[in-house]
Amino acid sequence: MKYRSSKDSATGLRKQIEVPNRIEPWWFQSAQGKVCISVKYCNCTIVQRQTQRGSGSAKELIEALTAIKTAVLAGELDAAIDSAATTLRSGFARSVR
């Protein structure tokens, strides 16, 4: 849940209301029917894995998630995360006086 500011039409006062937070799916189905998983950091896709066969069964999904977990534990994603973080930091303007 998140809070959103809303103006009451009857009184004209602003109030905070609680609304559901939209959660974007972290998986999608490709044109070939394979289930694809995207791991994102700072709105950048770091890893994209797909199931080996087109069925997208729970077993194949677990295998893809296990492969991602193994890559994370081995440190294979560290460079990609650093790159995404650098890209994010470069978007902030710093004023120098």
pLDDT tens for the 97 residues of the chain, in order: 899 998 988 888 999 999 998 887 777 777 877 777 888 877 777 777 665 555 566 777 788 788 888 988 999 888 888 888 888 788 775 644 4
State residue 96's pLDDT score: 47
Half-sphere exposure of 18 (CA within 13 A, CB side): 1
Provide the pLDDT for residue 13.
Answer: 92
Give the span between the Cα atoms of 59 and 47, in whole angstroms.
19
pTM listed for this prediction: 0.53
Which of 93, 83, 72, 77 lies closest to 44 in space, CA to CA? 83
Per DSSP, helices labelled H in 1-97 are 58-73, 78-90
